[in-house]
Amino acid sequence: MAAFAHTWFFAALAASVLWGFGYALLGKVLHSGISPAFVMLVQGIIALPLYFLIAKFGNHLKQDWEVMAADSRVFMPTVLFAVSVVLGNFLVFTSISLKNATLANMIEMAYPFFTLLFAWLLFREGHLNWATAFGGFLIFCGISVIYWES
């Protein structure tokens, strides 16, 4: 199990690299005149069959569907999560179309603070220590500099 101890970190880092690549491309696409809603439609067309296949071949589709359908404590958070991600993506895409990918995503990076806030408000879970508090402080310092200087 020690071999996979840092898998979470490398998966998150890889996601960050892919998002950076994707958002750089998205900036060009949106500034060419294509709307955020259309880009999200294309993303959804690609995502639906891909995620279906991943869930199906991961042997989780039936079991996960049954769990979600049977328990409102799972169903509602799943639906609310999906809605928040879709709306959040739309707002980020809109921000990129109105300004640029770099600035929009630098501001978007405040989401860890809101993750902490909602985890505490909704579930009374707090994963705050000096390192995460200091990192959050630096994020907001950076956002302030970006806002005032752009």
Q: What are the sequence ranges of the domains in the chain? A: 2-108
Give the distance between the most distant pair of CA atoms in the chain: 51
Q: Rounded to whole angstroms, how far apart are CA atoms 108 and 20?
A: 12
125-142 pLDDT tens trace: 877 788 888 888 888 898
User: Is-contact 143 110, C-beta < 8 A?
Assistant: yes
27-83 pLDDT tens trace: 999 999 999 999 999 999 999 999 999 988 887 888 888 888 898 888 989 999 999
Q: Rounded to whole angstroms, how far apart are CA atoms 150 and 147?
A: 6
Q: Rounded to whole angstroms, how far apart are CA atoms 37 and 28?
A: 15
Using a cut of 0.85, tell me whether the model's pTM lies above it.
no
pLDDT at 39: 96
